Amino acid sequence: MGRPVPSPTLQMVASALAFSAMGVCVKQVGGRIPTAEVVLARALVSVVLSWWLLRRAGIDPWGQRRGLLLWRGSIGTVALACVYAALATLPLASATVLQYLYPTFTALLAWLVLGERIGGRVVVAMVLGWAGVLLVAQPAQLFSGGTPLAPLPVLVAVAGALTTAIAYVSVRSLGRSEHPLVIVFYFPLVAVPLSLPFVLLDPVVPTPTELLWLLGVGLFTQLGQVSLTRGLTALPAARATALSYVQVVFAGVWGWLLFQERIETATIGGAALVLLATLISLSSRRSDPEGAADR
């Protein structure tokens, strides 16, 4: 008898834990190692693992719609750089909350690009999502108390959510003709040559400890994506996203334990609004087993 397969719920929680650990690794090196170098390290680990999985499954790695695959890899690389830059500069919980704007952006882009129906729910979700962003960011012009976040990192985090949504829409289109492993493979395949010139312009030799953290970025990301894919194939999108939102809790705990980050009341309120926006935007959509976020 084979080993028992973990339940989809446990898969989603494991995915959230792995992605939160990835955030810890990014934050550990983010003060000294440039973002492009972190992206390159993650891509190198992922391209090796993805190639091995493709060869093991006997799947042609090059796909059919190569132009769109290259585009998905390119926009995914931009999203990854934004996410990593936000994780390095913002509190872990706040950066994670802002990243979870991507389902709302995806619903809007799917309407604009793919012609998928959009209704009043998505509009309500967008309003709630942006209200959540304001609570998390606490701009000085609107809030007299609390600790406002620096505007530029917040914009970078929102840009990461937007570009993640663009990558999602590309994945939805590619899913009609490409194997999921091929789509995953093209992401690091494109990220390596895109990030390498930036690394060469500003190279920083990592210490042995930093090398371990960089390896952790790639390994935890791969573990998170595997668990996420397995969970999403067996759960409705709304429930799966609600479960994956436990990543915000994990991020808050890691930030408090390792980086002495306070969890602001406004961050909790903003997280609740973004989660509600996410559930509303997904409530009328089918499960999409191949829509894994770029991390």
User: For the residues 272-289, what does the mean pLDDT come to?
Assistant: 65
Mean pLDDT of the chain: 81
What local confidence, expressed as pLDDT, does residue 126 receive? 73
Asked which of 76-80, 111-115, 263-267 is least confident by mean pLDDT, the reply is 111-115
Q: What is the pLDDT of residues 68-112, one digit of tens each?
A: 999 989 998 999 999 999 999 988 888 888 887 877 787 777 777
User: For the residues 207-213, what does the mean pLDDT come to?
Assistant: 95
Q: Which residue has the higher pLDDT, 158 or 115?
A: 158
For tokens 């882009």, name the residue: 109
pTM, to two decimals: 0.81
Secondary structure of the chain as H, E, C letters: CCCCCCCHHHHHHHHHHHHHHHHHHHHHHHCCCCHHHHHHHHHHHHHHHHHHHHHHHCCCCCCCCHHHHHHHHHHHHHHHHHHHHHHHHCCHHHHHHHHCCHHHHHHHHHHHHHCCCCCHHHHHHHHHHHHHHHHHHCCCCCCCCCCCCCHHHHHHHHHHHHHHHHHHHHHHHHCCCCCHHHHHHHHHHHHHHHHHHHHHHCCCCCCHHHHHHHHHHHHHHHHHHHHHHHHHCCCCHHHHHHHHCHHHHHHHHHHHHHHCCCCCHHHHHHHHHHHHHHHHHHCCCCCCCCCCCCC
Name the nearest CA neighbour of 191 among 275, 91, 74: 74
What local confidence, expressed as pLDDT, does residue 226 receive? 75
- Quick check: 171 pLDDT over 90? no
- Quick check: 62 pLDDT over 50? yes
- Quick check: 229 pLDDT over 70? no
User: For the residues 156-169, what does the mean pLDDT come to?
Assistant: 88
Asked which of 17-21, 227-231, 266-270 is least confident by mean pLDDT, the reply is 227-231
In angstroms, the CA 275 to CA 100 distance is 8
- Quick check: 287 pLDDT over 70? no
The percent of residues above 70 in pLDDT, for the chain, comes to 82
User: For the residues 201-230, what does the mean pLDDT come to?
Assistant: 88
What local confidence, expressed as pLDDT, does residue 233 receive? 56
- Quick check: 268 pLDDT over 50? yes
What local confidence, expressed as pLDDT, does residue 82 receive? 95
What local confidence, expressed as pLDDT, does residue 166 receive? 87
